Structure 1
Amino acid sequence: MKYKIVFSDIDGTVLTSSHHVLPSTTLAVKELLQKSIPFVLVSARMPQAIRTVTDEMNVNIPMISYGGALVLDDRQNILYDRKISAADTAAVIKEIKLFWQDSVVINYYAGDGWFVEDTENKAVVREENITRVKARQADFAQLLADGVLPNKLLCMTSPPICEMMEKMLGEMFPQLKIMRSSPILLEIMDKTVSKAEGIKI
């Protein structure tokens, strides 16, 4: 069978459990590219966090980031960019802070920017170590005032609260895609976002 294009996830596929790329994986990807078969990484990660992987492989390839909310070609030109509206962003952050102020860390991802309210939070530092990307401290209300809309909000919390948030916020915001990506992570995006839609582009 001759492949026309190859799509791959990152964590647990391209990356090992120690968050690095095996030389054999890099070789396989380069062999595909030499045969003019495009290799596309598909991930919930932000573009910069995907780039740490492509840099390790020393390749320039297309990427589908934020689970399909942002699609870039091999030159990093934007092919598709789906944001959460300003009204929805403000409303969902307000509800999270109202119900779970001290129990949830909100990560605000917009394009190549990763913003948090406290860069010294242990959960943020742990994520920085995994993705090899640095978060930037910011005021979310100011980001919205400046027109910086998020592709994704990622909430870090305990398993019981994460489950509760998925249910409550899902009922409050049916226009958004709200789902747990792990027992301690809750992702919030526009309802239309999916990896399948990103692949179609």
Structure 2
Amino acid sequence: MNPIINYRIIFSDIDGTILNEQKDISEQTIAVAHQLFEQKNIPTVLISARMPAAIKHLSEKLCPSAPLIAYNGALIIQHTNGENIILHSKTFPSEVARYAIEQSLTEGFHVGLYYQDRWIVNGNDSWTQHEIYSTKIHPEIIDGNTMLSLIDSEVPNLQKLMVMAPSVTIDKFAKLITEKFSDVATVYRSADTYLEVTPSGCDKRQGVETLLANLAIEPFQAIAFGDNYNDLEMIKFVGMGVAVENARETVKAAANMMTGQGTKDGVAKALKHIFEL
């Protein structure tokens, strides 16, 4: 391990970074995380655009007592004594969702609404089935008109809105929603066909910064792993930013260190190297 820096915490993105080809965490990665926590009291914290329920089962394999950061930093949860303690929560107003749903009724694209552990979608389409496969979570499935009636009464504030559609539709909608709601929402394109909307000012760097302040840990004492554009500022913010081999070129350029493929235990290999395990 670096003899000067005393690393105290590890952050890792999930999809594309720490999951294997079976969409799970490998035994090798689990073993390394356990060793670091048991021997050095260094927790591994998962940070993702996912909802908490889609992170929790993975987090418990790595470090059951560690917090988790959901919705790209909009929600930070500590699981203690069977209860979820909210350390940080930020939302955006329902008019953002209303606009997206109204557009979907004419354009026919997929909309998903998220608040804490609630996930609502406007149909059981191929997009929904793909997310169920990836996250192992099942949403509430309703039609667009019913969704409109719910947003004011049951989910007036949201932590994530996801739109899935062909890339041409995403191009158009991303421009429209950015122009109308840039003061209250952050728009992030996680894939050509995926658009994610979170509260303004929320990103993974902010999530990491908030949790570090809560734990009285300095940024230079943190390690972070990532692969995609929404990991970039987090990678640059911490003391040791690590890009997996399959990361975007901009993420690789910003990282302090490169490691192997995310699906091939890249995280575990880097941690073994950093801590000389």
- TM-score normalised per structure 1: 0.89
Structure with a larger share of its residues in helix:
2
After superposition, the C-alpha distances for 1:76-117 in whole angstroms (9 at most, x for unaligned) are 3111111111233323433x23652x1x10001110011112
Tell me the amino acid that sits aligned with residue 199 of structure 1.
V
Equivalent position SS for 1:21: coil
Is 1:63–1:73's contact at 8 Å kept on the other side of the alignment?
yes
Partners of 1:20 and 1:82 in 2: how far apart? Answer: 28
Tell me the amino acid that sits aligned with residue 10 of structure 1.
I
Q: How does 1:15-34 map to 2 (within 5 A)?
A: 15-34=19-38
Is 2:97–2:113's contact at 8 Å kept on the other side of the alignment?
no
Percent identical residues: 27
Is 1:163–1:180's contact at 8 Å kept on the other side of the alignment?
no
Equivalent position SS for 1:144: helix
Alignment correspondent of 1:121: 125
- Does the C-alpha gap of structure 1 residues 142 and 97 become closer, same or farther in structure 2, counting only changes over 3 Å? same
Equivalent position SS for 1:126: helix
- Does the C-alpha gap of structure 1 residues 145 and 174 become closer, same or farther in structure 2, counting only changes over 3 Å? closer
Q: Which residue among 127, 141, 151 is the counterpart of 1:144?
A: 151
Alignment correspondent of 1:86: 94
Equivalent position SS for 1:12: coil
Equivalent position SS for 2:92: coil
Tell me the amino acid that sits aligned with residue 147 of structure 2.
F
Equivalent position SS for 1:73: strand
Partners of 2:70 and 2:89 in 1: how far apart? Answer: 10
**In the alignment, does 2:115 pair up with 1:110?**
yes
Please list every run of 5 or more consecutive structure 1 residues that lacks an aligned counterpart in the other structure: none
Is 1:52–1:132's contact at 8 Å kept on the other side of the alignment?
no
Q: How does 1:37-56 map to 2 (within 5 A)?
A: 37-56=42-61
After superposition, the C-alpha distances for 1:103-136 in whole angstroms (9 at most, x for unaligned) are x100011100111122x21210111011111111
Alignment correspondent of 2:178: 170
- Does the C-alpha gap of structure 1 residues 38 and 55 become closer, same or farther in structure 2, counting only changes over 3 Å? closer
Alignment correspondent of 1:161: 169
Partners of 2:168 and 2:117 in 1: how far apart? Answer: 30
Alignment correspondent of 1:65: 70
Give the superposition deviation at 1:44: 0.6
Q: Which residue among 129, 135, 141 is the counterpart of 1:131?
A: 135
Bigger drift between 26-35 and 136-145 goes to 136-145
Equivalent position SS for 1:77: strand
User: For the aligned residues, what is the CA RMSD?
Assistant: 1.8
Partners of 1:117 and 1:99 in 2: how far apart? Answer: 13
Alignment correspondent of 2:195: 186
Partners of 2:86 and 2:122 in 1: how far apart? Answer: 27
Partners of 1:89 and 1:24 in 2: how far apart? Answer: 41
Q: Which residue among 60, 72, 85 is the counterpart of 1:77?
A: 85
Partners of 2:16 and 2:99 in 1: how far apart? Answer: 34
- Does the C-alpha gap of structure 1 residues 164 and 13 become closer, same or farther in structure 2, counting only changes over 3 Å? same
Tell me the amino acid that sits aligned with residue 49 of structure 1.
A
- TM-score normalised per structure 2: 0.66
After superposition, the C-alpha distances for 1:40-99 in whole angstroms (9 at most, x for unaligned) are 1110111001013124447332111000111112433111111111233323433x2365
Please list every run of 5 or more consecutive structure 2 residues that lacks an aligned counterpart in the other structure: 211-277
